[in-house]
Every structure is written in C-alpha cells, then in structure tokens.
Structure 1
Amino acid sequence: MKKFILIVPSNDSEKFFINKNYIKNVRDFNIPYYISDYNIKNIDYNNIGGILLTGGGDIDPAFYNEKKHCKTNDIYIERDMFEITLLKDAFKRKIPTLAICRGAQIINVAFGGNINQHIDGHMQKEDKSIYTHNINIEKSSKLYDIIKKDSIKVNSIHHQVIDRVAKNFMVCAKCGNIIEAIECTDKQLFFVGVQWHPEALYDEDSKKIFTHFIQSIK
C-alpha cells in the first residue's frame, strides 16, 4: 500500500469538515490522502507518510495547566486528546508533520509549551487569501531553508498564539513579539507549525512549504 497523508479535519458538535484549500494543496502533488476522525485506535502508523493538521477552535487550557480565559471558545477535548497523542507518536516515529494555525498551537501544547489565550488585532476581516502583515524568518531555521527569504507576507486568522515554546522546538518566525512559526530543532525531521494559513494564500512561498512537506514524505 502506498503511504498517504493523514489530514485531521475541523469539527463542531455535529460534523467533521475541512476547507477545500487544504485538499487543493495536497492534491497538486498527486499523493494519496485520508481524512481522519478523532479515534486514535483507527490510526495505522505504518501507512502514514505525513500528517497535516488543520485550523479550528481553541485548545482546552487544562492541557497546559491554566484556567480558561473568557474569550477561549470552541473547545473540543476529543480533538485535543487525539491530536496530542497523534503528534507524540508521529514525533517518535519521525513522521513529517505540517501543522497550520491551531495545528501549530497543539504541537506546542503536546510537547510541554503553552498558549497566550487571547490577543487583539490578529483576526483579519478580509478574505483569507489577502495578506495583512509581514513576518520575519530566522535565518538559522528550516523554514528559512525552505522559503529562502527572511521576510514574507502572510494572512492572520487567529486570536491565540504560542507563548512559552516547548522543549525540542524553536521559534522560526515572528511578527514583532508574536510567534508565527515553530519547528523541531532536529533539522532532519520536518515537524513545522505555522500560525498563518498558507493553504489559503496559495502563493509561491506557501507552495514551497507544501512542496518541502511532500518531499519529506517521498
């Protein structure tokens, strides 16, 4: 069986769902993909070539030992528990992982970091395909090796951000004092979380991220 990309969808109380932009970015590479539920017992790691974590609601702050902020919402503990277990297993097995928006945050939580539960001014009103600000990329990072730029334009659809960075991870991009991306300190492993939504921008910089992710699988 050819290895596939496991895509973790968003959800509400009644259904799973996924923005078609995630599918479009994966489908471009003609690689099999599978959209999961949140049952870790259904996961066959032997057939997973890579993992793509999508955006979604907030993470239960109990997972990083903090009380719930009044603006923390859309919590689904079932998804939190599934993704945390999935990430820990994927890390041990060195499965390439690309995590977007909430995905970057759950990586940080899974490995011992925490989240700033609310900031103002980062939930853009414009369409997701529109740039709203620049980020600066650390030149010593894998992200810089991928994009070959120290600054790019991105979108912004979030109200929470990474605060204390987890062990074995490093900040690879920031906007002012806001962490915009983290990655595993082991450069041989593609384990990257970005706070913006590259799947919606679909520009050359975003395509480089997806291309490198797919190449890490192959």
Structure 2
Amino acid sequence: MGGRRPVIGVTGFHEQWAFEHGSYLFTATERVFTDGLLEAGGLPVLLMSAAETTDDAVAMLDGLLLTGGADVEPSHYGREVAPETGTPDHERDAFEIALVRAAVDRGLPVLAVCRGNQVVNVALGGELVQHAPTHQGYGHPTVGFHDVDVAAGSRLASVLGAGNHPVNSLHHQTVGSTAPSLRAVAHTADGSVEATEHPDQPLITVQWHPERQLDNDYWSRLASWLVREARTYSSRTPEGQEP
C-alpha cells in the first residue's frame, strides 16, 4: 500500500512500578493494540495525558484509539461517587474528555474500547451506570461470555456484521443515558448498551474487549476500519476538502 502510514494516537494507562532503588510512574498501553494497528498499516503513537496538549495532539493525528482503564470520575456527568466506583485517574479523565471533544470537532476518526466507550459517552454529554454487577467478572481472552446484537445498517455492522456476536466483558460500568450526538448500535439481552457510534462521523465505541478475543478477528477488523478511515482523513486538506 502506497503513501505514508496514518498516525493513530493511542491513549495509555498510568501505573506505579516499584524497584529496589525507587518507585516510578509509567504511561503504557497493551502491545496488542499497537501491534494490531501496525498490522493494519497504521503508525500508532502513545499519547501522554496532558490536557494542555490536546489541540496539538489532535492536529498531528489521523485517527484516535481510546483504550481501557479506570472508572471515569462521576462529576464529569453530574453524579456523586457510588460506593462501587473505583479510584479515578483525574489527569487521564481530563485529557481524554478534552481529546474526544476536539477529535469530534475536527471529524477525526475515533475507535474506543471499554473505558474508551464510557469516556466518549461522557465527553459528549451522556451518563454512566456506575455499577452493573451482572457485567462484572468476564474477560477470558478466548471465550465469548454473552451475545451482543449489532443493529443492521450501522457503521459497526459494516465492520463486524449485523446480528448476534459473542463477546467478552471486563467492566462493571456501562453506558446509561446515551449522549445526544451518539446512537446505540449494539445491546445485550438485558438492554444494556454495548456499542455506540456517531451517525455522521467515523466514530465507533465498543464496551467489550475485542483485542482479547483471540478466537475471532473482531480486533483486526476494527483496527483495519480505523486505519482505513484515518488514511482517508489524512488525504484531506485542513479544510476537510480532497486535494
């Protein structure tokens, strides 16, 4: 494939690692994400959680992948902290919420997984269910534990196919009220939202972990979709017109 690889920004988690000579804070992401984007023809770059860099980050990117991690601070969607809600990463929350809003403003292609699905919903004005115990405790890398029904005619259906798909889960929070600019395009049998998308822009979010489902190609399909959309985006001028 000719031309440069489209640049895909990948969000990371923060983790404190202790060593004999001291303790250090790392920003990292799972290799399965970057490997999948590389295989699809993209150039993944790890983004540092610094809200003051949002505009510069979005300006240099052709696509954005939001990955999993800690619970989103409930004040971002106007709620008090529930007892079951985990300790938030305030720095990451502020950065990723600003990042999503800037990306949508520019029409930047976005793919969001698990926490990323929740961040996108919150950033665009939706709310979360802080604790959904029936969704907790899944996550085996090769086994689907429940079905999601993907809506026919949706952008997600064009990537994975419409109808039922077996997926895993590793979360206890879910989308509550869907953001006004998004539409829910996949649900579980109990009606929980498992995927959303923007009707007019290349933005898809999924609640499950396709990167951990080693018995199917969901992750490679989604990664390929993001890279294709990013390549299209990169071919446009800053004004959004084809050169």
Q: TM-score, normalised by structure 2?
A: 0.84
Work out whether 1:179 is the aligned partner of 2:181. no
Are residues 84 and 126 of structure 1, via their aligned partners in 2, closer, same or farther at CA, if it must alter by over 3 Å? closer
Larger C-alpha radius of gyration, 1 or 2?
A: 2
Name 1:192's counterpart in structure 2. 204
Aligned-pair Cα RMSD in Å: 1.6
Q: Percent identity?
A: 26
Conservation of the 8 A alpha-carbon contact between 1:50 and 1:96? yes
Name 1:212's counterpart in structure 2. 225
Conservation of the 8 A alpha-carbon contact between 1:3 and 1:47? no
Q: Give the alignment partner of residue 172 of structure 2, picking from 146, 149, 159.
A: 159
Q: What's the offset of the Cα at 1:141?
A: 1.3
Matches within 5 A, 1:24-63: 24-42=35-53, 43-63=56-76
Question: Amino acid of the residue matched to residue 192 of structure 1?
Answer: I
Question: Amino acid of the residue matched to residue 172 of structure 1?
Answer: V
Q: Give the alignment partner of residue 8 of structure 2, picking from 5, 9, 14.
A: 5
Are residues 150 and 34 of structure 1, via their aligned partners in 2, closer, same or farther at CA, if it must alter by over 3 Å? same
Q: How many residues align?
A: 216
Matches within 5 A, 1:30-179: 30-42=41-53, 43-125=56-138, 127-176=140-189, 177-179=191-193
Conservation of the 8 A alpha-carbon contact between 2:49 and 2:92? yes
Q: What's the offset of the Cα at 1:80?
A: 0.7
Partners in 2 of 1:10 and 1:145 — Cα distance?
Answer: 30
Q: What's the offset of the Cα at 1:205?
A: 3.1
Q: TM-score, normalised by structure 1?
A: 0.93
Moved over 3 A (4+): 40-44
Conservation of the 8 A alpha-carbon contact between 2:182 and 2:198? yes
Question: Amino acid of the residue matched to residue 12 of structure 1?
Answer: E
Quick check: 125-134 or 43-52, which moved more? 125-134
Conservation of the 8 A alpha-carbon contact between 1:124 and 1:132? no
Q: Deviations over 1:41-96 (max 9, x none)?
A: 33333320100000000000000110101010130111111001111100010100
SS at match of 2:133: coil
Question: Amino acid of the residue matched to residue 190 of structure 1?
Answer: P
Q: Deviations over 1:17-52 (max 9, x none)?
A: 212211221121232111011113333333201000
Conservation of the 8 A alpha-carbon contact between 2:11 and 2:65? yes
SS at match of 1:121: helix
Partners in 2 of 1:3 and 1:204 — Cα distance?
Answer: 21
Partners in 2 of 1:126 and 1:48 — Cα distance?
Answer: 31
Structure 2 unaligned runs (5+)? 17-24, 232-243
Partners in 2 of 1:103 and 1:49 — Cα distance?
Answer: 18
Are residues 37 and 126 of structure 1, via their aligned partners in 2, closer, same or farther at CA, if it must alter by over 3 Å? closer
SS at match of 2:211: helix
